[in-house]
Amino acid sequence: MINKKLNYRAILSTFLGLVVVAAEILFLDGYLRKHIADSPQSVQHYTKWISDLETEKPDILFIGNSITDGGLDEKELSIKLNKKVSKVAIGGSHTAWWMLYIKNVILNSSYKPKYLVIIFRRNILTLPELRVKGRYYRNLAPLMTDDESLLNNLAYKRSLSPLEFFLYENFYIFREREFIKKQIEDWVKGKISLLFSNDKSLANKTIKKVFSTSHFDMQRLRKSQDKEEKILDSEQYDFNLAVESSFLPHMIEMLKNAGVKPIFIASKMRTSAKNHKQHPNYKDYFKDLRKYLNNKNIPFYILASDKRLQENHYADGDHFNEQGREIFTNIIQEKIEDVFSKQN
């Protein structure tokens, strides 16, 4: 039996309540849009990257994330290769960032490097939606132009529900929420810092020091990173299925049109150094990736089986320590020289 009596007053007051909230959100959105837009960005604007590229004029440009940033000594490499080597390595960046860099920096620059070396891990080349939301959005935003349909279609629309995508596209608050949250957290930390000293940033500095990976129990850290990697592992490890809906073909096409030769290097993870079991499709994935790149005459190197990188060369699950950095740089040098020799 259905109770057909409707409480019109309840419906009206509910509707009014929601209208009030929506109005407040729109007002706040406009207010924050005006104020946040002027706040310091996490990375420089793409026009600055263009300017840097045109100034430095590297022969070989490395692109990657914190693994490359901490693991590659580009100055040492420059000396050993006798070439101008630069690197653009933003922590947490993955293919979305690298694609934007190629599209909005390299293609728009009057100077094009001869080689672009992309250092990546696992199957992230075919995971376009990885690290594009939350705090990673702030890394991407300065590289974006007004038209980023490729990014939206391959990354955001795939990782956001239609409602989330609508909110993302139309509400500044939603896009910048990690930044807003961080501002509030920094405000709280600043207040607490003042209880200890005059330095408002003391809390942030102390937290960074205390919670650095060197203070973590490596085994537990590995387990928690393994848990995250299982999340990665449950993603697409079927290369042929994933490649066409990834940024990879677009990146290769753009570089080809710009006359830049790409080189891909798959870095070695600590799990490989410890001979941990990888995802069951790991070997097939890389076999298919190699075939794909070979068909396009693109050099590709996999460091997973390189025995020179041992477990004690890692600071944590992904990043090299000082010793590892030296060995990694030497290995990269070797691979680049191999590319040169094959081309001669």
CB of 6 to other proteins, least distance (A): 7
User: Taking CB under 8 A as the rule, does residue 277 contact other proteins?
Assistant: no
Q: Among 27, 111, 166, 216, which residue sits at the site for other proteins (rule: CB under 8 A)?
A: 216
DSSP state, residue 58 = -
Is there a contact between 147 and 154 (Cβ–Cβ < 8 Å)?
A: no
Of the candidate spans 7-15, 39-47, 55-63, 100-108, the one that interacts with other proteins by CB under 8 A turns out to be 7-15
The interface with other proteins within residues 12-51 (CB under 8 A) comprises 13-18, 20-22, 24-25
What span, in angstroms and rounded, lies between the C-alpha atoms of 59 and 53?
11
Q: Among 107, 167, 298, 327, which residue sits at the site for other proteins (rule: CB under 8 A)?
A: 167
Q: Quick one: 146 or 231, whose CB is closer to other proteins?
A: 231
x-marked contacts with other proteins along 290-329 as a string, rule CB under 8 A = ----------------------------------------
Closest CA to 113 of 265, 298, 260: 260
Exposed / middle / buried, residue 210 (Cβ in 10 Å: 0-12, 13-18, 19+): exposed
Q: What's phi and psi for 88, nearest 5 deg?
A: -125, 100
Q: Among 121, 177, 268, 319, which residue sits at the site for other proteins (rule: CB under 8 A)?
A: 177
Closest CA to 168 of 75, 79, 159: 159
CA 238 vs. chain centroid, Å, equals: 21
User: Taking CB under 8 A as the rule, does residue 75 contact other proteins?
Assistant: no
What span, in angstroms and rounded, lies between the C-alpha atoms of 298 and 107?
19
Q: Quick one: 137 or 292, whose CB is closer to other proteins?
A: 137
Structural element, H or E, at residue 204: helix 202-210
Closest CA to 245 of 315, 159, 303, 163: 159
User: Taking CB under 8 A as the rule, does residue 9 contact other proteins?
Assistant: yes
x-marked contacts with other proteins along 125-144 as a string, rule CB under 8 A = --------xx----------
| DSSP-derived secondary structure for 99-153 | HHHIIIIITTSS---SEEEEEE-TTGGG-TTTT-SGGGHHHHGGG--S--HHHII
**Which residues 6+ apart lie within 8 Å of 241 measured at CB?**
none
Q: Among 8, 10, 147, 234, which residue sits at the site for other proteins (rule: CB under 8 A)?
A: 10
Rg (CA), the chain: 23
Q: Quick one: 96 or 331, whose CB is closer to other proteins?
A: 96
Of the candidate spans 220-228, 263-271, 286-294, 335-343, the one that interacts with other proteins by CB under 8 A turns out to be 220-228
Name the site residues for other proteins (rule: CB under 8 A): 1-3, 5-7, 9-10, 13-18, 20-22, 24-25, 133-134, 161, 167, 173-174, 177-178, 180-181, 185, 188-189, 192-193, 195-197, 202-203, 206-207, 209-211, 215-217, 220-221, 224
